[in-house]
Amino acid sequence: MTFTRRKMLVGLAGLATLGVVGGGARYWIGRPADPVTHDYELIAAPADIELIAGTKTPAWCYGGQAPGLELRARQGEWLRVRFINHLPEPTTIHWHGIRLPLNMDGVPYVSQLPVLPGESFDYLFQVPDAGSFWYHPHTSSAEQLGRGLVGPLIVEEREPSGFRHERTLSLKNWHVDKQGAFTDFSVPREAARGGTPGVLSTVNGEHAPTLELPAGQVVRLRLINLTNTVTYRVKLPGGDARIYAIDGNPVAPRPLGKVYWLGPGMRIDLAVKVPPVGEMLSLRNGPLRLATLASVATAETEGDWPAPLPANPVAEPDLQQAQTLRFNFEWAGTLSSDSGQGEAFTFWQINGQAWDINDKTCADRPIATLKKDGHYIFELRNLSQYQHPIHLHGLTFKVISSNRKRIDPWYTDTYLLGKNETARIALVADNPGVWMFHCHVIDHMETGLMAAIQVV
Ligand code: C2O
Ligand code: CU
Ligand code: CU
């Protein structure tokens, strides 16, 4: 697949009128005068944010904030985003978890050319599934996501879901020092292990905030892990919480339980029964407090647990006729290309192949080719001592079994594959394209743990 810049610009003729963005403002977001063209004008630009009181962090923002502006759409409708790049480097937007046509998937040299500084790109697609999703670049990911280019994308159910209250909680862990300056987003010795962790955790850009929730109500909390490498061990001690959806797909409501492991890129929608006024709950990552949920008085009558959310229109894989493909995720063993400046390190591989993040032709050599509308089982084998949140673009899959735990099947776009675990997932290859298949620990992805899967 090759692109010329000229080809990519066709169809963007209307863009000349867009010079207005300047006008002194570095970014602007809002509903444009002509809603026929787009719903959002989303600008990526540098801006200082205050993560640590009294300090400045030179973040990169979507819509002037980091994590980025929350975008919303309704299931079955179009989302039209005119994206404008005011960063000092090329970028793209990938819509994580959304089943869409390849040319909207935001992978450079696979679905589009990178959007250069000063350029814009119109992302236009229908959203088939309701749920909690997110968006981020697919270029220089460790740095671009690390600096804050991550944002929630909420697709509302067609009909009111039964939740009267909801909050999005964007979880992010930042690579900053005590002065708010960025530290290395990816350090080779960490990339070769669990990934380079940040040190400051925030919810909606604030460290350990207090969120006020209406007493006695059932509130939908959309927890989204927008972090490069960290798996959150989500806990809500003493709280009455049920999981309503996992990674954008409804499940039969089930108790949150003691702990839920939310890997990079993953989401859960929790229904939480807010305790009586004056009581508080502590949302935790293991022993660490992420946020305090404070109960405040409300005039509303006591809320009840809503009905389960309606299923998304995902095709059911037929396990009897499915063909099985095996994928081994392993440590690459040698620090092969660690010599020259600017060369990528290789620490990880899938079926013996490492993805070279600097090689634009990698996607021309897909690791597997699926027949359009074929049914498949992927056997995912982790041969390493680190966990990998395995993510697939363009297709939603069903988790069907694991050799490590009992699986109550669910649909998802990301599966957290534990140390030495073998799990089976199944899907119908109903979306033609070349789809990235990678670990969402960003520095694993950038040091080999990525491949392309073709559906033709
Ligand atoms: Cu959030 Cu390639 O993925
Ligand atoms: Cu994705
Ligand atoms: Cu990984």
C-beta of 267 in contact with ligand 1 (< 6 A) = no
174-184: average pLDDT: 97
C-beta of 273 in contact with ligand 1 (< 6 A) = no
Q: For position 18, what pLDDT does the model report?
A: 30
Rounded Cα gap, residues 151 and 65, in angstroms: 9
C-beta of 438 in contact with ligand 1 (< 6 A) = yes
Residue 32 clears pLDDT 50, i.e. is over it: no
Residue 135's pLDDT band (cuts 50, 70, 90): very high
DSSP state of 343: P
C-beta of 94 in contact with ligand 1 (< 6 A) = yes
ipTM more than 0.90? yes
Residue with the smallest CA separation from ligand 1 atom 1 is 96
Residue 7 clears pLDDT 70, i.e. is over it: no
Which two three-digit tokens encode residue 69?
Answer: 């502006």
Strand order in the sheet with 120-126: 57-62, 40-49, 78-85, 120-126
pLDDT digits (tens, 9 = 90+) for 240-257: 999 999 999 999 999 999
Q: For position 88, what pLDDT does the model report?
A: 97
Q: For position 346, what pLDDT does the model report?
A: 87
Residue 227 clears pLDDT 60, i.e. is over it: yes
Greater confidence, 301 or 166? 166
Where do we find the tokens 């675990």? 421
Asked if 308 and 252 touch (Cβ cutoff 8 Å), the reply is yes
Q: How much distance in Å is there from the Cα of 264 to the middle of ligand 3?
A: 10
Rounded Cα gap, residues 62 and 26, in angstroms: 11
C-beta of 444 in contact with ligand 1 (< 6 A) = no
Residue 344 clears pLDDT 70, i.e. is over it: no
Q: How many CA atoms lie within 13 A of 196 on its CB side?
A: 22
State the amino acid at position 219 in one-letter form.
Answer: V
Rounded Cα gap, residues 300 and 345, in angstroms: 57
Q: What's the mean per-residue pLDDT of the chain? A: 90
Rounded Cα gap, residues 47 and 197, in angstroms: 23
Q: How much distance in Å is there from the Cα of 142 to the middle of ligand 1?
A: 12
C-beta of 436 in contact with ligand 1 (< 6 A) = yes
Residue 334's pLDDT band (cuts 50, 70, 90): low
User: Which atom from ligand 1 is nearest to the alpha carbon of 265?
Assistant: 1
Strand order in the sheet with 450-455: 368-370, 450-455, 433-439, 388-392, 414-417
For each of the domains in the chain, give its residue range(s) and CATH number, in order of start. 5-156 (2.60.40.420), 165-296 (2.60.40.420), 323-455 (2.60.40.420)
DSSP state of 200: E
Q: For position 26, what pLDDT does the model report?
A: 26
Q: How much distance in Å is there from the Cα of 439 to the middle of ligand 1?
A: 8
pLDDT digits (tens, 9 = 90+) for 118-132: 999 999 999 999 999
C-beta of 138 in contact with ligand 1 (< 6 A) = yes
DSSP state of 274: P
Rounded Cα gap, residues 265 and 441, in angstroms: 8
Q: For position 136, what pLDDT does the model report?
A: 98
pLDDT digits (tens, 9 = 90+) for 72-109: 999 999 999 999 999 999 999 999 999 999 999 999 99
Count of other CB atoms within 10 angstroms of residue 401:
17
Q: Which residue, 149, 164, 177, 169, is CA-closest to 57?
A: 177
